[in-house]
Structure 1
Amino acid sequence: MLVFSGNSEVLNPRGRISRLDFVRNNMSIDEVIELNDFYNKHNLDILGDCIKRNPMTHPKWCEYEGDGPAIKVVLLGNSYTWNHHKMIIQECRHQVKNFTMDSEEGCEPLAATNLFPGCDKKLEDFSALLKAIRPHYAFILSRFYAVAEPFTNNVMDLENDRVFLQMRAQLRRFLPNIRQKLYILDTIPRVIDQNVQNIGRDLKKGVSPEEISKTLYTSDGYERGRLRHAALLKECFGKCEIIDYLPLLTKNFTVLPQFFDDSGISNRKITKKFQIAMSKLEPIWQNLPIHFKTSCVEKLDYKSRCSLRKCSKLDMHIVDISSNHLNSLAINTYENYSFLSWSNDGDTIFSVKYFKNLGESDMKIEFSASPSIYLPGKNQKSIFKKSIFLENLDPDSDDLDFVLSDFKIAQKKLNCKKSIINDFILKEYHPIAHPDRTMEFRERLLNQMTSSGQKNQLKSEILHLKWHKNPEEIAEILKIFDSKNLKKLEFSDRNATWQMAEIVKTEQWIKAEQLWMEVMAEDLKIEDFRHFSEIQMHIRDLEEKDLWSVIQNFRSKNRHGASFHFTYRQGEPDLQRILATFDVVPDDKPIRAATRIRSILERRINHTQRFQMPNPDLTLVVMIADKEVWGTVCHVANVDVEAKVETGMLR
């Protein structure tokens, strides 16, 4: 309920209103002036149900109870905190259990100004509040002073800037006590307060909005605050977010912000007396409740997300717009069932098997969990396994319908370490599906993944793809994945030969850093994979001059840990012809294996050559065996440990 001490009949003589702020369409200029004056008088009052938990030690700490779950929110700053607290509490009260506010006129939570005494000590109070509450979310809502002060010695060198160093130190005190996210209101130009009351009158006189904006705006160096905030964001590692009013206030016709809406109602949140129409700023704050929920959902394991998704349409919407962070996700079909598996953390793998034939109305679902690596005597091969039976299902559906439907849900906002398509994670026996069933599965999966309904590219660091040799389809699948995230490509199809022309043109291929190909490539050229820093590849044969080109390429990369491995499927590496291409005298220097298994594996190597690198601390170790050639860029002093003799054999 909003309580006004003035007479609202004057503001709304026509009777009932549709908005609690009394703003209506087609208001006259006189009504706008009257409404602005009303807000000047009544909009600064603090909400009345403030609880003082520590009136003696911290008299400024003010607490409000919400009726939501266990979420805690802290609001920090100066007068802007008072100005915003009503709106935030009213928007989020049903999602938050507790709001705590601490504001001090002229003081900012991240840096202290000399304009107001006591701001240095107030920095400690702000930090103490976060430590005492340990909120899920914190908001820094400040009219700028210190954060936009001139740079030290008037040089924009943030590493030697007094204010930025203080902001960084304060941030490092804050973050350990904030569970989810810190929001920082970015600096915007200050308003010339005495001119705010003239907005409506100037519009009535015919003064253009551009000219009115010029009378409100003062050049006060606010850009310095924005530069410092942008640099500070990099120190947060994803835990901070900037709230920026400037894009919402800037009109197309001018670079100056417009501190009033088209009707002339001033922006109550950012003038000194907090006078404005919220039409421009509403989208930021109205989305906060959903933002809180999505942050919580993103912390859930995948099974819990699926359970929450069934609770209501709103919960389904929240889950579907929240990033789905998985370590791995796999899908495939087999002779009598389809299979979906995932891992939240890489340690435990969960799998679901769907058993249903066309014409049947019942379905068996088998849910199990197992360790990603089974170590006899140290862990169990299976953590648990249980089955459930669903009845009265559509007889025209089969297991493919259900696994594809669940995979589509998992794809939404997917952000995972590894995506495994048409293959499986678990090292257990799976009966191979009939070719017709496999082709149907691949066709339906491809249509689903490439349909127009797939709005966002999938974010995955690794893509493991086992597919038939249709290059156009493989290229289409690659394009589904965000090239900014995709670092490694794994292709598995031992008995097939792929045409690579379409695949190597994709942005995903060009930007990836690692390549694993257990596939025969018909038309792949050395130039097509020179950019990869790690290569494992099956080849029919490799000419000696091409191998030498690869060696030279890895020497020029000068990158520790870079490696290549070629497995010859038909021909064999000719040692003498390979040595003849080297620009150094052949010198066999085997590694000294420190473990028994490395010693056994090293015995298959016929020649080990070490090449100098531009970095004298590095060396490229090239090893040649009967059916393999591989190389690793190692530290000179640690070759025996870093040389990848296991590559290929123990993949």
Structure 2
Amino acid sequence: MIAYLIVSMRNEESSDYQLLIEEGEIIEEKKNTRTTNYKNGMTLLMIIMSFIPIEIPFLREIQTILTALLMCLPPPLDDRKAEHLNREWSIMDIKNLKSPFCEQRVENTILGYCTHKGLDTKNGKYKLMLIGNSWAANHATLFHEECGHKANRIVQESLVNCEPLQHTESKEVCAKGLKTFEMEVAEEKPDYLFIFSRFIDIGDPMPPNVTSLDQDPIYREMKTQLDLYLKAVKNKIYLMNQIARFDLKKGGLIAKAAVEKHKLVAFDKSLVARDSKMARLRYEKLVSECSKCVLFDYKPYFFNETTQTWRFYNEQQAGLTYLTNGIHLSFHGLELIRPVIRDICNSL
């Protein structure tokens, strides 16, 4: 509903703005002043809320709604407020990975295995499962809000820095992590499996002596792992395609750059720590060879086809970022891609 309101209000607001201009400058000025007061109040409230423990009931939902309102109410934030929000979202990043809907198997943990509470077990039709690295937890609340009405059970398994389709060589724990994913999926036998995973080694180049993905060791391992999951999934597997990796060291520069608007294309390029080209090629080939697999993609929301650059912030909102310094989707970023998840859930 929030995503719908954003689009609808933006459209209505655009025509309303034109009407006010025609009727006179004074009316337009009054509207801008009134909206600025609303926005200033909401921004201050969100900054205060960032310091409140996330365990307070409904805090996450309130933050999400306020973020949506910030996206659709003109005029834009100034760089000082945007920078403050960006910083607070990054400070609270790890705490925000813990969804209020998630009942952890191990108490006082943020990642790992959990089941979602608050579902309609009588009318919900499907057993859904999310697996991935911390991006699975990052999506948990949004996923519950959009898919919860279709589910009688939602299970989540997220392991830090571990990709469900390939062992991460730099993390020894991820060799065991693959076995954990396999075991949990085999045990749950979900109707639909969702893989939310930010790429790590899957984005590496092919070895020098390899010229095709069919011979690529990373791709072959991905295919082997996917085949294991397919045996346990009744209907379909949905896989998140990859976006470029954000340079977390430069997050603090965004608000100032967005307001100054100086060489933004070059600035956008400087924010990319790792390109997603190889990761995308592997995922796309994997899904093209799987009749039970569906690939969903956030690239249209983050990539400018004209400049051929990725953009991880909202220029109209003084550089309010879509990603945190922990390289997770911020509340602003989650609202941006909400329509993608909504469309998937409605199609089940």
Range into which the TM-score falls when normalised by the shorter chain: 0.7 to 0.9
Alignment of 1:173-322 (within 5 A): 173-218=228-273, 220-237=274-291, 239-262=292-315, 263=317, 264-268=319-323, 272-275=327-330, 277-278=332-333, 280-292=336-348
Taking the aligned partners of 2:196 and 2:297, their CA distance within structure 1 comes to 11
Instruction: Give the direction of change, closer, same or farther, for the CA distance of 1:111–1:26 in structure 2 (3 Å limit).
Output: same
Task: Show CA shifts across 1:346-367 (max 9, x none).
Answer: xxxxxxxxxxxxxxxxxxxxxx
Instruction: Give the direction of change, closer, same or farther, for the CA distance of 1:154–1:183 in structure 2 (3 Å limit).
Output: farther
Instruction: Give the direction of change, closer, same or farther, for the CA distance of 1:154–1:71 in structure 2 (3 Å limit).
Output: same
Taking the aligned partners of 1:270 and 1:170, their CA distance within structure 2 comes to 30
Note if contact 2:101-2:144 (Cα within 8 Å) is conserved in structure 1: no
Say if 2:149 is the partner of 1:94: yes
> In the alignment, which residue of structure 2 is the partner of 1:60?
112
Instruction: Give the direction of change, closer, same or farther, for the CA distance of 1:211–1:149 in structure 2 (3 Å limit).
Output: closer
Task: Show CA shifts across 1:138-181 (max 9, x none).
Answer: 11111111222221335232232211111111111101211221
Equivalent residue of 1:177, what SS? Answer: coil
> In the alignment, which residue of structure 2 is the partner of 1:38?
88
Q: 2:195 aligns with which of 124, 132, 140?
A: 140
Task: Show CA shifts across 1:46-98 (max 9, x none).
Answer: 1234324578xxx9211113225131111111121121112111222222222
Equivalent residue of 1:73, what SS? Answer: strand
Taking the aligned partners of 1:187 and 1:206, their CA distance within structure 2 comes to 27
Say if 2:179 is the partner of 1:124: yes
Equivalent residue of 2:314, what SS? Answer: coil
> In the alignment, which residue of structure 2 is the partner of 1:25?
74
Q: Unpaired segments of 5 or more residues in structure 2?
A: 1-40, 48-61
Instruction: Give the direction of change, closer, same or farther, for the CA distance of 1:276–1:47 in structure 2 (3 Å limit).
Output: closer
Instruction: Give the direction of change, closer, same or farther, for the CA distance of 1:70–1:37 in structure 2 (3 Å limit).
Output: same
Note if contact 1:191-1:271 (Cα within 8 Å) is conserved in structure 2: no
Instruction: Give the direction of change, closer, same or farther, for the CA distance of 1:53–1:80 in structure 2 (3 Å limit).
Output: closer
Say if 2:217 is the partner of 1:162: yes
Q: 1:82 aligns with which of 128, 137, 153?
A: 137
Taking the aligned partners of 1:135 and 1:109, their CA distance within structure 2 comes to 16
> In the alignment, which residue of structure 2 is the partner of 1:48?
100
Equivalent residue of 2:238, what SS? Answer: strand
Deviation, 1:182, is 0.8
Taking structure 2 as the reference length, what is the TM-score of the superposition?
0.72
- Larger Rg over CA atoms: 1
Task: Give the aligned length.
Answer: 279
More helix per residue: 2
Equivalent residue of 1:281, what SS? Answer: helix
Instruction: Give the direction of change, closer, same or farther, for the CA distance of 1:191–1:10 in structure 2 (3 Å limit).
Output: same
Taking the aligned partners of 2:115 and 2:44, their CA distance within structure 1 comes to 34
Note if contact 1:80-1:269 (Cα within 8 Å) is conserved in structure 2: no
Instruction: Give the direction of change, closer, same or farther, for the CA distance of 1:25–1:154 in structure 2 (3 Å limit).
Output: farther
Deviation, 1:11, is 3.9
Alignment of 1:417-496 (within 5 A): none
Taking the aligned partners of 1:260 and 1:139, their CA distance within structure 2 comes to 26
Note if contact 2:249-2:325 (Cα within 8 Å) is conserved in structure 1: no
Deviation, 1:114, is 0.9
Letter of the aligned partner of 1:75 in structure 2? Answer: L
Alignment of 1:533-544 (within 5 A): none
Note if contact 1:79-1:106 (Cα within 8 Å) is conserved in structure 2: yes
Note if contact 1:233-1:240 (Cα within 8 Å) is conserved in structure 2: yes
Deviation, 1:120, is 1.7
Taking the aligned partners of 2:91 and 2:105, their CA distance within structure 1 comes to 29
Taking the aligned partners of 1:118 and 1:43, their CA distance within structure 2 comes to 23
Note if contact 1:184-1:240 (Cα within 8 Å) is conserved in structure 2: yes
Instruction: Give the direction of change, closer, same or farther, for the CA distance of 1:37–1:160 in structure 2 (3 Å limit).
Output: same
Note if contact 1:217-1:256 (Cα within 8 Å) is conserved in structure 2: no
More strand per residue: 1
Deviation, 1:273, is 4.4
Note if contact 2:90-2:324 (Cα within 8 Å) is conserved in structure 1: no
Identity of aligned residues (%): 24
Deviation, 1:12, is 6.9
Taking the aligned partners of 2:336 and 2:83, their CA distance within structure 1 comes to 19
Deviation, 1:192, is 0.4
Instruction: Give the direction of change, closer, same or farther, for the CA distance of 1:148–1:154 in structure 2 (3 Å limit).
Output: farther
Equivalent residue of 2:139, what SS? Answer: helix
Letter of the aligned partner of 1:282 in structure 2? Answer: R
Note if contact 1:186-1:226 (Cα within 8 Å) is conserved in structure 2: yes
Deviation, 1:20, is 3.0
Instruction: Give the direction of change, closer, same or farther, for the CA distance of 1:207–1:271 in structure 2 (3 Å limit).
Output: farther
Taking structure 1 as the reference length, what is the TM-score of the superposition?
0.40
Letter of the aligned partner of 2:289 in structure 1? Answer: E
Taking the aligned partners of 1:18 and 1:240, their CA distance within structure 2 comes to 30
Determine which structure has greater relative contact order: mean sequence separation of CA pairs < 8 Å that are 6+ residues apart, divided by chain length: 2
Note if contact 1:51-1:64 (Cα within 8 Å) is conserved in structure 2: yes
Task: Show CA shifts across 1:361-402 (max 9, x none).
Answer: xxxxxxxxxxxxxxxxxxxxxxxxxxxxxxxxxxxxxxxxxx
Deviation, 1:200, is 0.9
Deviation, 1:31, is 2.9
Note if contact 2:162-2:168 (Cα within 8 Å) is conserved in structure 1: yes
Equivalent residue of 2:195, what SS? Answer: strand
Instruction: Give the direction of change, closer, same or farther, for the CA distance of 1:233–1:12 in structure 2 (3 Å limit).
Output: closer
Letter of the aligned partner of 2:344 in structure 1? Answer: L
> In the alignment, which residue of structure 1 is the partner of 2:25?
none
Equivalent residue of 2:320, what SS? Answer: coil
